[in-house]
Amino acid sequence: MDTNEGANPSYENGADDFEDEEQSEMRVLLVEDDNLIGTMVRLNLEQDGYQVEWQRSGEAALQVLRTVRYDCVLLDIGLPGMSGTEVAKYARKLGLGTPIIMLTARDEIESKISALDGGADDYLCKPFNMAELLARVRAHIRRSQGSLEVPTDQELHVGTSLVNLERRALRTTDGTWHELSDKEAVLLQFLARNPGRALSRADILEEVWGMDATPTERTVDNFIVRLRRWVEPEPDHPRHIVTVRGWGYRYEP
Ligand code: CA
């Protein structure tokens, strides 16, 4: 299917053996008529190792969707001619199961709802945070590919970060590695292995600190504050390590 692209990925892998190899073959279709937004999104996706095809109209998008398999589609709602909502509906009628993330303006609430009804999987409001967009793309691809995309025993995706347990380090979206303490590594693993579950502070204390020490529940909160700086696109508005009032925390991938 993909014979004319030459060798990829576009970056050298050798220097950093923790590079996310599975992402280098992922193809994303970007449908956006705004040049500035399109350029920014494409650049960021390419830097993350994706192959990006950029189309500027819904009609052109459907054309390529009929012949090329993509791992994810980023679809602007307000397009000239056919709208993004119509494209999503039509793509689903064609039987495409590819994750579709809509890009919407703040005043397009109606179309946002009908886009989700029509088969889109998610939406992001403009102006969106680039790290957030990359995290959503990653999450949707991972979900849609099920077992193919399960990280190795030694790697975990937590929010927007990649945790390498062997190296006991965490890579944030800007590519920086941060060393993790034992407790931080165990806490990240505990969260990642219990997605969607409300974990009490007592659960976390027992799992991470065990019986051998007597830290207070405040210790848990301090650790969470630190981890959020690494795994959240906006640490002050956490989406991944969410507070469960009067109880503890819940991890949302
Ligand atoms: Ca537009």
Query: 79 C-alpha vs ligand 1 centroid, how far in Å?
Result: 5
Helix or strand (DSSP H, E) at 162: strand 161-164
Query: 125 C-alpha vs ligand 1 centroid, how far in Å?
Result: 12
Residues spanned by CATH 3.40.50.2300 within the chain? 3-144
Question: Model pTM?
Answer: 0.51
Query: 249 C-alpha vs ligand 1 centroid, how far in Å?
Result: 37
Query: 56 C-alpha vs ligand 1 centroid, how far in Å?
Result: 9
Tokens (6 digits) for 184? 């931080």
For residue 74, how far is the Cα from the chain centroid? 13
Q: Quote the CA–CA distance of 162 and 195 in Å, as a whole number.
A: 16
CATH classification code of 3-144 = 3.40.50.2300
Residues spanned by CATH 1.10.10.10 within the chain? 155-251
pLDDT of residue 2: 46
> Mean per-residue pLDDT for 189-200?
90
Query: 66 C-alpha vs ligand 1 centroid, how far in Å?
Result: 22
Mean pLDDT of the chain: 83
Extract long-range pairs of 38-41: CB within 8 Å, 24+ residues apart. 40/130, 41/74, 41/130, 41/133
Query: 23 C-alpha vs ligand 1 centroid, how far in Å?
Result: 27
pLDDT of residue 49: 92
Options 1.10.10.10, 3.40.1030.10, 3.40.50.300, 3.40.50.620; CATH for 155-251 is 1.10.10.10
Q: Is residue 111 very low, low, confident or very high in pLDDT (cuts 50, 70, 90)?
A: confident
Query: 186 C-alpha vs ligand 1 centroid, how far in Å?
Result: 44
pLDDT of residue 59: 96
Q: Is residue 57 very low, low, confident or very high in pLDDT (cuts 50, 70, 90)?
A: very high
The total number of residues written for the chain in this structure: 253
Q: Quote the CA–CA distance of 35 and 22 in Å, as a whole number.
A: 29
> Mean per-residue pLDDT for 130-159?
76
Q: Is residue 14 very low, low, confident or very high in pLDDT (cuts 50, 70, 90)?
A: very low
Query: 76 C-alpha vs ligand 1 centroid, how far in Å?
Result: 6
Q: Is residue 213 very low, low, confident or very high in pLDDT (cuts 50, 70, 90)?
A: low
pLDDT of residue 25: 78
